[in-house]
Amino acid sequence: MAGEQAERRRLADEAAARLIATLDVVLGERLVPEPGVKPDRYADGVVVNGFGLLERCPRRAAHPADDFTETVATARRRVALAALRRLGDDASPAADAATAVDEVLSERTDLARNLAAWVEQLDRAGRAAVAAAAITWCSSVQRLVGSDGSIRWADPSSASHWDVPDRLVRVSASYDAVRGGVVTGERLLLVADGAGGPSDRLRAAYLALVRTLGTRHAPLRVTLAAPSRGTMERIDVDEDLLTLAVDRVVEHVVVRADRDAAAPRPGRWCAHCHLLELCDEGRSFLAAPADAAASVAAPDT
């Protein structure tokens, strides 16, 4: 066990060193905090999250939308996680997902302030829609991964993060559940709602990296649970996986650090892009006949 723990610590030290050194090379004096000023990475730097990291168009990654509003789709995971935590908590009388979700929505004490405020202003139909979506999330995930006492569901109001020393850069990621501990080896669970594909491995790699840096120990693995596909994909955390994530983080930070230079990468995703009106390349792509558009689309379309 001590040898395994030392190995996971070594992986963490090497991932941190690689990320710091590579950012030093590509950023130079950019994104460096002013001496004597408390760093504000949200206002003056780059905060990387899993959504931005998976963004396929560099221009859109450099100019993320700033008009986020809650919907049933964005709220259901966090409400469901809060409910699952109550089911395992002796302080809660809830004995099933429906009761636990109802408690979460009524009390709202275990939701982040913004989400709690959004839930509070919903009418009866809106709240029923959130409840139905959250109950479905709970039961489909529980059916796939089980519900034994070794699973610790994540706190939906917080995320793991790590600040790159002496840089205005933070990496941040959320997981859905964990088994095991930092010392014995964590096994993280990530619920995957999408259609699957190469981006799933990158999602797992990025979560593993953020957790590795934050706990200074690499987790043992990340499991991607996809209820819609009925699959559980176990991805071991090793040097290759962490390097994949480090390299992608560096690529993303460089794009965000020089926003005006970020190149467009048109694809079918242009149809839902908030920059479309200002983006000639995106509009040309969408206006082109389907066969021509396919020939200029990115390979992973």
Size of the site for ligand SF4 (CB under 6 A): 14
Among the listed residues 223, 266, 293, 297, the single contact to ligand SF4 using CB under 6 A: 266
Site for ligand SF4 contains 252 (CB under 6 A): no
Site for ligand SF4 contains 276 (CB under 6 A): yes
Site for ligand SF4 contains 209 (CB under 6 A): no
Site for ligand SF4 contains 52 (CB under 6 A): no
For ligand SF4, the closer of residues 182 and 286 by Cβ is 286
Among the listed residues 11, 15, 39, 60, the single contact to ligand SF4 using CB under 6 A: 60
Backbone phi and psi for residue 187, each to the nearest 5 degrees, phi listed first: -120, 110
Cα–Cα dist 120/99, whole Å? 18
Cα–Cα dist 63/48, whole Å? 13
Query: Which one-letter amino acid corresponds to residue 187?
Result: R
- Residues 126 to 155 in contact with ligand SF4, rule: CB under 6 A: none
Among the listed residues 159, 275, 288, 296, the single contact to ligand SF4 using CB under 6 A: 275
Asked whether 173 and 210 are in contact (CB, 8 A), the reply is yes
Cα–Cα dist 203/207, whole Å? 6
- From the list 33-41, 147-155, 219-227, 269-277, the region that binds ligand SF4 by CB under 6 A is 269-277
* Site residues (vs ligand SF4, CB under 6 A): 57, 59-60, 264-266, 269-270, 273, 275-276, 279, 281-282
